[in-house]
Amino acid sequence: MKLRNKINLYTAVLFAILFIIMNITVYFTFSKLILNNELKAATKEMEKTTTDIGKGLGTIPEATLLRSYVPINGMIQMVTDDNRKLFTVTSPTEKKLINRNTKYLQGEQSQFITYQNKSYTFVSMPLILLDGSVASLQVTNSIQPTVDILSILKLVLIVVTVVAIIPVILSSRFLSQLITSPVTSMIRTMTDIRESGHFKRLPLEAKSKDELFQMGETFNHMIELLETNYKKQKLFVSNASHEFKTPLTIIESYASLLKRRGLTEPDLFTESVEAIHSEAIRMKEMTEQLLLLAKHHEQWNIHNTAVELKNFLTQTAHSFQNAFGREIHLHSDFGKTLEIAADEKKLKQLLFIFLDNARKYSDEAITLEYGMENGLVFIKIIDRGIGIHHNELPKVFDRFYRVDQARNRKIGGTGLGLSLAKDIAAVLNIRIVLDSTESVGTTAILYLKK
């Protein structure tokens, strides 16, 4: 059964049960109150009648006296203790009551009785006769009109219940449509995605921010993440297959040379091994960078700590100098201690990318500067190298892009460094500014919040 039909069925059944229980409760409560009132009224009337008849005995004939107090739709009678009727008077409409079995009752008694499918109140009270004997004065009064009214009430409640179920069914259909519409739309969208292979999103109406709207927003966000990751995966495969083709071809070529002439030509052997080793290192570096670039921002696991900038830059410069043997000058006009909140490892990785570029494209010493500018902390990496043409500056952050001067195996590089730097800077909330002049050098400026 579909969810819409389940909601419709369960809602209609639940409301129907509630209506039935409510109407049954109303009917029985109301009928009990009405009938109890009838019995109480009959009892009070009987008390007055018994008193009046007791006073009238001996002055007015008993038959006449009873006829004065007979109910409009009922019977009054005196019954002796031997179950004998002394006097019986019935109303014209209830002549049949005279055939009802008579029994002497002790004390006061009141109850409902049914005779020939009609309902009555029956009240019996003791009455002292003139001779000192005790008789039972009994009054039977018809309450059939009240019972008929209660039957009409029952019928009305049944009809109201049936009629009320109709709007309940209609409203439950509307409710089920309202609830399942986003789910149906989601299913339809996912089916379209599966059949077409294109990512789609749910159309959302921002009339209310209820759970259904939040579900749609969550679904769209999930689709956005899937699409982003799919594009990253596709780009990764495309870039990897494209960029790995050249080093693999080089490795294959040198390996073939080694097979043919490597044992007889030592110089060729050395050249081939160095080339294969160089390309293998380059492929390893490229793979690591591609994997980092494939990460989504939420997967970087940033852990910000307090970083004292001068000590941090000193340690970074010292590590880089030891690794590559390049001279780095640390300079600052800022006289105070400067502390920032950042992920130290990611910030060091970002600096290494720019320092590595400065090392590759310049031969002179590299300069590191830091300080404050317009309320922001800045770090500058300055080299005196080949520089970049101003037309190519906007492209250097694209993946696998390398300027013409860099397209040689001596310099190396994968064209992924600055693309990775852009992603790291984005998750660290760092703004990068590049300033470069051909044959003069390049300055990379990192702006950080203090």
pTM listed for this prediction: 0.47
What's the rounded mean pLDDT across residues 54-74?
Answer: 86
At 369-424, the pLDDT tens digits run 999 998 899 999 999 988 888 888 888 877 666 665 444 444 555 566 787 788 88
Show the tokens assigned to 437. 């002049």
Q: At what angle do helices 211-261 and 266-293 cross, to 10 degrees?
A: 180
Confidence of residue 112 (pLDDT cuts 50, 70, 90): very high
Output the CA torsion 171→172→178→179 (10° steps).
Answer: 160
Amino acid 396: pLDDT: 84
Residue 297 has pLDDT above 60, yes or no: no
Contact between residue 165 and residue 16 where contact means Cβ atoms under 8 Å apart: yes
Amino acid identity of residue 68, one-letter, is S
Domains by residue range for the chain, with CATH: 3-151 (3.30.450.20), 211-293 (1.10.287.130), 301-448 (3.30.565.10)
At 203-262, the pLDDT tens digits run 776 666 677 777 778 888 888 888 877 777 776 676 667 567 757 877 888 888 888 887
**Torsion sign (Cα): 272, 274, 279, 283:** positive
What's the rounded mean pLDDT across residues 133-161?
Answer: 91
> How long, in residues, is the chain?
450
Show the tokens assigned to 341. 């909140």
At 319-353, the pLDDT tens digits run 888 878 889 999 998 878 899 999 888 898 889 88
Residues 6+ apart with CB under 8 A from 65: 53, 56, 57
Average confidence score pLDDT of the chain: 83
Residues 6+ apart with CB under 8 A from 72: 91, 93
Most confident of 137-141, 171-175, 190-194: 137-141
